A and B are shown apart, each in its own frame.
Chain A
Amino acid sequence: MSGDKQDLERQEPSAAEPRIGVYVCHCGLNIGGTVDCEAVALHASKLEGVVLAEHQLYTCSEPGQEKIKRDIAEAGLNRVVVAACSPRMHEPTFRKTLEAAGLNQYLLEMANIREHCSWVHLHEKEAATEKAKDLVRMSVARARLLEPQEEADIPVLQRALVIGGGVAGIQAALDLADSGYEVILVEKEPSIGGRMAQIDKTFPTMDCSICILAPKMAEAGRHPRIKLMSLTEVTRVSGYVGNFNVSVRHRARYVASDCSSCGECAKVCPQHAPNEFDVGLATRSAIYLPFAQAVPATYLIDLNLCLNKSTVRVCEKCVAACERKCIRFDDRDSEESFEVGTIVVATGVDVFDAAEMPQYQYRRAANVITSLEFERMINAGGPTGGHLIRPSDQRGPRSVAFIQCVGSRSSRTNPYCSNVCCMNTIKDSLLIKEHWPETEITVFYIDIRAFGKGFEDLFQRAKQAGVRFIHGLPGEIIPLANGNLRLLGESTLLAKLYDLEVELAILSVGLKPSTGSELVRRFLTLSLTSGGFFMVAHPKLRPVDTSTRGVFLAGCAEGPKDIKDSVTQASAAAARAGIIMRSGKVTVEAITARVDPEACTGCGACVKVCPYQAIHLNEAKKAEVIEAACAGCGTCGAECGFGAITMRHFTDEQILAQIDAFTEYESDRKILAFNCNWCSYAGADFAGVSRMQYPTEVRIIRTMCSGRVATRFVERAFARGVAMVLISGCHIGDCHYIDANTHTERRYQRLRRLLESGGMDPERLQLVWVSAAEGQRFKEKIMAMRKKLVTIDPEELKRSMRFFGDREKEREAKARERAARPRAEKLAVEA
């Protein structure tokens, strides 16, 4: 696929002497304010292979890019090093610059002197400049060995999977289907509609929620290109962009789709239980339709409630009542697998359980309800027919209190703001005032966040309608014998305590990540932000993409948001997925493994560690890579003891050259870190973006996966006198290459034992799992290592240099012996 030899030879830069151009970016004052960019460029200009080194105000700007193009043409550059921001930010930009100038894009190398240097060492200008020099020198060393690569095309199936049938999932499915793609919409509940179906009115327009949602639900249900799977859960996803294999389990419905939803069955059913849709405020029978507008409009049987069990049949009332003979007690759960090209994850949210805060008496005092229960009560189709009543005595309350931020903005529950509760309460207070203007309404809040279009107007309207807003949450609610509630707290604006008696209290509960989405997260190797919601590839510029290609996010799965934002994001996700499917192909990075059959001994170690089963031993007992299945993690390359596997663009030679360049100056006082592209490198970037300050001693080498870090890399570092080494990757279970990081752990343990057996301090090697959101964790690790670093004694360093130096010599001797052996054997055969 990618080995178009002629193409490569035409460009021939690898054969030519390296002619490297280095561009040190000031990034305005972002880098230039801390790092002496001129000094860094001067340092770079003296390095081997560098023909020019410049420093520019903004390298990513049009003139900056033009300069690179011109230098490639005029100075005959055949490698480019850009010392600027994280490659996760601008590597694609500069790769395009190179391509435009006729240079293969893989001949670019970036030194991250912003996120990993200037931003994290704001007040240590000299040390930051020294660090930037090291990083540039390491990059130049790698650049000398870069090779041109051709990217392979992978076909993309023009079918999308949408997981979750709330308003976001429905919108994404409709947009994709209307663009001409086949869509499979999977919903775990019996009906699509999600949370929006439960809500009475929407803010700030006060539209009837189900009235505007039901037509969309119906459209999704009958769209010729949407295959709707309700009562279905995704059980497994494998594969990669363009070719995901999806397995689902359909739960048995026990009612055939011929059902006309006439409801005769439910009328005769003797069994009743609380209705999920009405949050338990009303009942349903064992055979039921979740709600009137449900799609599909097919009844289902809750077999836990039904009198009939798998083999025991004691009641056939529904069977007798069903004219169309739709009841199927022999229905069973079933499995299905299919392939899709792209996936939209719209798994939504759960609601915070207010019983976790006992001071508010939820589930202890009848007249304390949640905002979701209120929505069902105030809804004309709800359990009380739209009448707001007190659960204790079924009469309308004369006074109502709303308590905000229940389960939000708290380290005890959820640390984030749930985004919708302020406006929801304002809307709810207006609904009460609309129907029962005499009701006294008090809203207790911390901050009213009315930030969206039309929100402030609604807030003002509520105040005009006489809703009282009091800053300061109640400390507790005391239930009284008559069902009333006493709220004790402080109105901070008056600096006075209140002791208010109300007839009904509504807890404005926050949103939390859907528990059901954990499985999806694992299969799609998605990252989470600190609140537990899915993380996007870039918070500003790629707000619906995930770091897994071909997977997009929509709605509250990405973070709490209102209906409008969910729909906006869903349409964006559909458009992004459409872009990939439209062309029918995607290019994959040319970072896959290559096997040298001459060097391969057929030991099969690589086969065992490959997380994708992308390597097998062929008939000649040589390892062979299935390139389409290879994701480029490099675990095989790290495992191979015979140098038979080359990881393209992350070769042993390139990484060893980086290590060697690192050790040229004062490595006895520094920390070498290996960070994986997806989690820990991104985590270190996050520390930079957040301007977390940590010691300057660390230098980071990026690998795709921590599984790429071969023991020989670490050994080389110690042999060259590095004081401390850190290996860092995704948390176990979060690895972007399934489970490649389990091998990291194994190698780490082996190296620690080796250090110990050689009489050295094993603490000099550290391992830390850092997610893309855990900049703080990375910072703390470096701070802890810095403490250790200053205590390491020079004798210890000499010991490890000797120990690992000897081991390296031994290894080299063996390799020479191996290289010579086949030739000798060959000669013997010829003779």
Chain B
Amino acid sequence: MAKALDLYDKEEFYRCLQCAVCTGSCPSAQVVQGFNPREIILRYMLYGEQEEVLRDENLWACTTCHACQERCPHEITITGLLTHIMNLAARRGNLPRNLRETILLMAKTGWSVRANPHSDKVREQLGLKPLKRPNSEEIRMILREAGLGEIMEL
């Protein structure tokens, strides 16, 4: 855990005023109950409740849109922290099923959304060339290089 914190300039989090502009700006917080960037800073960085936060599946509501970070009065790298926490959570097995399946799909087909006969037909009507199948071997390699190979069988 100490190593995880090393990635961060913790001092910048001490500046957090708990003004809640991050949560107030967060589009995900508007729709996902229980996802609250302000609370994550408070618990993870200031109260030291890292283990609990890492087990929280709501983490994955973050879309890394950077709205919180853009408006934070102290320019705290909130999105950076969330990305880092998500990485760590995934390594601990906290990875929602839908995301896990998307990754597997990408590894298998090279696509995150599968092309199907219907989409092929629409393309044809619009005068677009049919989609080429991506080089899934290469994509699998990228996914493995990114560290996903340590979390699941790719």
Contacts and interface: CB of A to CB of B under 8 A. Distances in A.
B73 A497 contact: no
A594 interface: no
A475 B24 contact: yes
A456 B142 CA distance: 61
The 7 A-B pairs of least Cβ separation, nearest first, read: A475-B24, A489-B24, A475-B25, A410-B73, A472-B20, A490-B23, A490-B20
A213 interface: no
A621 B52 CA distance: 83
Interface of A: 359, 405, 409-413, 446-447, 471-476, 488-492, 495, 497
10 contacts: A359-B71, A409-B17, A409-B73, A446-B17, A473-B20, A475-B26, A489-B23, A491-B20, A492-B23, A495-B36
A501 to B, nearest CB: 15
Nearest to A410: B73
Residue among A405, A413, A447, A490 having the largest count of chain B Cβ atoms under 10 Å: A490
A476 B24 contact: yes
A489 B19 CA distance: 10
Contacts of B26: 475
Given A488-B24, A488-B30, A472 B73 contact: no
Contact of B24 (A411, A413, A474): A474
B128 to A, nearest CB: 37
B27 to A, nearest CB: 10
Interface in B22-59: 22-26, 29-30, 36, 38-39
Given A409-B17, A476-B25, 15 more contacts: A405-B73, A412-B75, A446-B17, A472-B20, A474-B24, A475-B21, A475-B25, A475-B67, A475-B71, A489-B20, A489-B24, A490-B23, A490-B36, A491-B20, A497-B24
A430 to B, nearest CB: 24
Nearest to A447: B17
Contacts of A490: 20, 23-24, 29, 36, 38
Contacts of A473: 19-21, 24
B74 A497 contact: no
A410 B30 contact: no
Contacts of B24: 472-476, 488-490, 497
Given A446-B17, A488-B30, A495-B39, A411 B74 contact: yes
A502 to B, nearest CB: 15
Interface residues of B, number: 21
B100 interface: no
Contacts of A475: 20-26, 67, 71
Contacts of B119: none
A493 to B, nearest CB: 10
A416 to B, nearest CB: 12
Contacts of A413: 73
Contacts of A411: 15, 73-75
B122 to A, nearest CB: 35
Contacts of B15: 411
Contacts of A405: 19, 73
B18 interface: yes
Nearest to B75: A411
Nearest to B74: A411
A409 B15 CA distance: 10
B31 to A, nearest CB: 10
B25 A471 contact: no
A412 B20 contact: no
Contacts of A492: 18, 20, 23, 38
Interface of B: 15, 17-26, 29-30, 36, 38-39, 67, 71, 73-75
B29 to A, nearest CB: 6
Nearest to A474: B24
Given A488-B30, A490-B29, A497-B30, A471 B20 contact: yes
Contacts of B38: 490, 492
B68 to A, nearest CB: 8
A497 B26 CA distance: 10
Nearest to B67: A475
A412 B76 CA distance: 11
A412 B73 contact: yes
Contacts of B20: 471-473, 475, 489-492
A446 B19 contact: yes
A446 B18 CA distance: 7
Contacts of B75: 411-412
A564 B71 CA distance: 34
Contacts of B36: 490, 495
A399 B44 CA distance: 37
B42 to A, nearest CB: 9
A489 B15 CA distance: 20
A290 B81 CA distance: 52
A359 B19 CA distance: 15
A405 B18 CA distance: 13
Contacts of A446: 17-19
Nearest to A498: B24
A578 B99 CA distance: 75
Nearest to B42: A492
A471 B74 CA distance: 18
A788 to B, nearest CB: 23
A709 B24 CA distance: 55
A446 B74 CA distance: 13
Contacts of A472: 19-20, 23-24
A531 to B, nearest CB: 15
A405 B73 CA distance: 10
Contacts of B30: 488, 497
A425 to B, nearest CB: 15
Nearest to B34: A495
B139 to A, nearest CB: 36
A490 B25 CA distance: 9
Contacts of B25: 359, 475-476, 488
Nearest to B37: A490
Q: Among A410, A475, A495, which residue has the most Cβ atoms of chain B within 10 A?
A: A475
A430 B67 CA distance: 34
A475 B30 CA distance: 11
Centre residue among B17, B19, B29, B75 by max chain A CB count within 10 A: B19
Nearest to A359: B71
A546 B20 CA distance: 39
A111 B73 CA distance: 42
Contacts of B17: 409, 446-447
A491 B67 CA distance: 18
Contacts of B71: 359, 475-476
A489 B21 contact: yes
Nearest to B18: A492
B125 to A, nearest CB: 38
B46 to A, nearest CB: 13
A411 B71 CA distance: 11
A55 B23 CA distance: 57
Nearest to B20: A472
A813 B141 CA distance: 75
A785 to B, nearest CB: 22
Nearest to B17: A446
B23 A497 contact: yes
A474 B19 CA distance: 9
Contacts of B21: 473-475, 489
A576 B75 CA distance: 42
Contacts of A410: 73-74
A476 B30 CA distance: 13
A472 to B, nearest CB: 3
Contacts of A488: 24-25, 30
Contacts of B19: 405, 409, 446, 472-473
A636 to B, nearest CB: 45
A412 B71 CA distance: 9
Contacts of A474: 21, 24
A447 B74 CA distance: 16
Contacts of B39: 495
A497 B22 CA distance: 12
Contacts of B74: 410-412
Contacts of A471: 20
